[in-house]
Structure 1
Amino acid sequence: MTKYQLAPMFFALSDPTRFAVVERLCRGGASVSELQRPFKMATPTFLRHLQILEEAGLVHSEKNGRVRTVALRGKSLVAVEKWAAHLRREAEARLDRLEDYIKTKED
């Protein structure tokens, strides 16, 4: 997964409501009404938040009768984690080089 494919995920997670929904889904799937309960917003507005999360590949939903259940797509978060780990390794390598440079100047 490229960094450009991650951009929609970061956009989706940049909103506090959507971020909170993803945090809640880490504990397991839930119905739309259960997910919406803590938020004071109209159903169409909340459904748009879920649509953005789904388009970003962070969640998926399925309808069973009259109930739509939403669940987290764990693999999408693995992609974000790998990207962040890559950035961390690069930053640590730069800091290690800076430390080595400073040590040579001190001697």
Structure 2
Amino acid sequence: MTTVQPALDGTIPTPKIPAARRRAEDYETWIDEVWPKYLEAAASGRTFTFAEIADEHRLPEPPDSHMWGRLATRLKEEGYTRTAGWTTSPRPTVHHSGVRTWKGTAAARRAAA
């Protein structure tokens, strides 16, 4: 049983239930939806993780979780991103494991212009 701490005024706070993420039916549909958001992130010049962008834009999960790695590889191979370092994942399902951080390239900034 979970206990709930009432607020100072005695009210019970609304529970924070994470929104379920939808799953794309196939790779092509998924990549068509997520690709522009990652190009936008790369063009911004900020350092990011793939999970941060997915959470910010409420992007769908791919049909297979290994497709996240394929997306990262494609963006790097096409010259839009480069590796920037490492951080710990904010996703509770991976228990703060290490994840790569990414940064956009000049090609990504040109593509956004």
Structure with larger Rg: 1
TM-score (norm 1): 0.48
TM-score (norm 2): 0.46
